[in-house]
Amino acid sequence: MNHKSSPKKVAIYARVSTEEQAEHGYSIDAQLETLRKYCELYSNEVVDEYVDRGVSGKSIKGRYELQRLLKDAEESKFNEVIVWKFNRMARKNIDLLHIVDLLEKNSITFRSFSENFDTNSSMGRFALQMMGAVGELERNTIVDNVKMGHRQRAKMGLHNGKVPLGYTVVEGNGNSRETKSEIIIVEDEASIVRYIFEQYATGHGLKTIANDLNHRGRKTQKGNPFSTTAIRDLLDNPMFVGKIRYNQYENWAEKRRKGKSSEVILVDGHHPPIINKALWEKVQLLREKKATLPKKRFEGEYLLTGLIRCPECSAAMTASRTVNRSKDGEKITRMYYSCGRFRSQGSAVCHANSVRKVEAEQAVTDRIRQAVVNPEILQRVVRSVNERRSGRIKPLRDELAAVQARITSLEDKKRKYLELYEIDDIDRDMFSERLSILNKELDTELTRKSKLELELRDDQADPASYELVRSLITKFDALLRHSPFQQRKTLMHLIVKKITLDDKKRVSSVELAFNEQTEKHFLSVAPSAEPIAEGAFPLSGKAPHIKQTLRIII
């Protein structure tokens, strides 16, 4: 490769996860030092360094320095990004190519120091794709090997991962991996499990059992009140009858319950059962019968499910109804929004706090409409938006200063330990232990610093103008009035973040959040040459471009 071109403005990106630091000795400082010297050798200007410490490359979430780098790329602050190895940028090939594509759209080259290529040429881009594919193959092979080991353990009747309520893992008597740990019953928790199974077997429902346990002050393994979901998961877990189940779901991180496996492993385990086989079979028979019953269907359309917050506990409110008869025997159905925690966990946790469906929905749409037609209300909303944004700056700056002080203190401690080690005043084991603890604390503080700097950057943007806010709310109101129900509900859940009730169960505020995605996909009209698909949002005109999330409370 020819590096004898004119000096470039370079951004250095480095990343290392906590596991990589512990297992492989990867060092952020070594990466940075190598890349700095490389840039110095070719007389390139290092514009900034972006360092994600103790962060996995699985996704962009939580990698605040990478997010900052991509924002700076859009502003053309540099024309090249360099990393120590390409997998520092992303673990998955598709994610890596997506990031590189974003850089290239802004005329920014991506360079890997270790693999000795850049994306400035066709061969460089080809090399990136090939090495990314090979790297992902290696990672997938490691994952497959780990899964193979877990599968083999399961076939042997050994448990993988955390144990459910009623059990704990203790040190075993053997030296092998299979015998060095043992699962035993925690009797206090096991009594709760037995009670749940016995209550369900006698005909009690999930909510009744959860409500009863919560009234008695019982908690889940994580210390939370019992919900219908928690009860259901316990009833469906064959570990309580002495079985080991594995591979029920594939790729849980991406697919969740949609990734149900057709090759479930179910064998006898080495751990003691908590309930007997007869009780288990009775409960499973009841579970199967109830699963075939028709689910409750509510007449009418619920627009605000999950958006309205309970005035007592702030939980999301869900759809509910009551059916009564008039004097002449006619059925009268009344529809409400009620506290979700009350519905799943019972009156020990909260109360129904029901509000009429029609009145709540009308109050929300009226409030949005009033902001459109009344300039005084809209001016008050705009002032509130900008005051909140400016009011956030000082606390963020204060927190950033405190974080920086902790970083400085930790770095001073590292230097002192290094000095003690150099004069043989501290033994190597103690030095390594203290350095490891300090590095972990330092990584936490540096990650927090990156997050705060990113938040400050957004909050210090230009104030929201009256025209911008009026345009966004006007378009939102127009879409709500002219769209069919499914689109209105989609819009509500995309843009409305929270609807707050006061102590008299009246709508007190509606919080909206507009960002680039809502503006692009829902508030801007498509080019006139493109036909509008059936059922699409009825757009008119184009919304202004939004550079950051804009939160508006009406």
pLDDT at 367: 87
In a domain, 13, yes or no: yes
pLDDT at 113: 87
The catalytically annotated residue of 17, 338, 471, 483 is: 17
In a domain, 530, yes or no: no
In a domain, 296, yes or no: no
Claim to verify: residue 191 and residue 254 sit in the same structural domain: yes
Claim to verify: residue 187 and residue 287 sit in the same structural domain: yes
Claim to verify: residue 21 and residue 140 sit in the same structural domain: yes
Tens of pLDDT, residue by residue over 275-308, are: 988 888 888 877 877 765 544 444 457 888 888 9
Of residues 119 and 301, the one with the higher pLDDT is 301
Asked whether the whole model's pTM tops 0.75, one would answer no
Q: Which of 103, 129, 144 is the last residue of a domain?
A: 144
In a domain, 200, yes or no: yes
Going along 101-256, which residue ranges are E strands? 109-112, 117-118, 167-171, 181-185, 243-246
Number of domains the chain is built from? 4
DSSP-based three-state secondary structure for 452? helix
Q: Which residue has the tokens 């493109």?
A: 530
CATH (domain of 45): 3.40.50.1390
For residue 143, name the pLDDT band (cuts at 50, 70, 90): low
Token pair of 71 as six digits: 């924002």
Q: With 80 as the cut, is the pLDDT of residue 1 above it?
A: no
Sign of CA dihedral 372, 377, 383, 386: negative
Tens of pLDDT, residue by residue over 477-518, are: 887 887 777 667 767 877 888 899 988 888 888 888 876 656
In a domain, 127, yes or no: yes
Q: With 70 as the cut, is the pLDDT of residue 20 above it?
A: no
Claim to verify: residue 118 and residue 234 sit in the same structural domain: no
CATH (domain of 284): 3.90.1750.20
State the Cα–Cα distance between residues 31 and 21, nearest whole angstrom: 12
Claim to verify: residue 133 and residue 30 sit in the same structural domain: yes
pLDDT at 547: 58
Tens of pLDDT, residue by residue over 77-90, are: 999 999 988 777 77
H or E element: which one contains 53?
strand 45-53
pLDDT at 528: 36
In a domain, 408, yes or no: yes
* Burial state string for 469-482 with b = 16 or more CB within 10 A and e = fewer than 16: bbbbbbbbbbbbee
Mean pLDDT of the region 96-122 = 79
Are the C-beta atoms of residues 308 and 226 closer than 8 Å to each other?
Answer: no
Of residues 338 and 485, the one with the higher pLDDT is 338
In a domain, 500, yes or no: no
pLDDT at 62: 78
DSSP characters over 210-226: HHHHHHTT---TTSPPP
**Nearest alpha carbon to residue 484 among 535, 541, 539:** 535
State the Cα–Cα distance between residues 551 and 386, nearest whole angstrom: 10
Claim to verify: residue 318 and residue 419 sit in the same structural domain: no
Residue 59 bears catalytic tag: no
Q: Which residue has the tokens 């040459």?
A: 529
pLDDT at 142: 59
Give the angle subtended at the CA of 176 by the CAs of 171 and 177, to the nearest 5°.
70
Claim to verify: residue 350 and residue 434 sit in the same structural domain: no
Partner residues linked to 499 by β-bridges: 308, 510
Tens of pLDDT, residue by residue over 357-379, are: 989 999 998 888 888 888 887 88
Min mean pLDDT across 151-165, 241-255, 290-304, 510-524 is at 290-304
For residue 531, name the pLDDT band (cuts at 50, 70, 90): very low
State the Cα–Cα distance between residues 189 and 167, nearest whole angstrom: 8
Which range marks the domain in which residue 455 is found? 389-459
In a domain, 515, yes or no: no
State the Cα–Cα distance between residues 96 and 79, nearest whole angstrom: 18
Claim to verify: residue 314 and residue 283 sit in the same structural domain: no
Claim to verify: residue 22 and residue 93 sit in the same structural domain: yes
Token pair of 434 as six digits: 């203290």
State the Cα–Cα distance between residues 95 and 50, nearest whole angstrom: 18
Min mean pLDDT across 183-192, 439-448, 457-466, 538-547 is at 538-547
Claim to verify: residue 249 and residue 185 sit in the same structural domain: yes
Going along 379-523, which residue ranges are E strands? 496-501, 507-514
Claim to verify: residue 331 and residue 451 sit in the same structural domain: no
Q: Which of 334, 355, 376 is the last residue of a domain?
A: 355
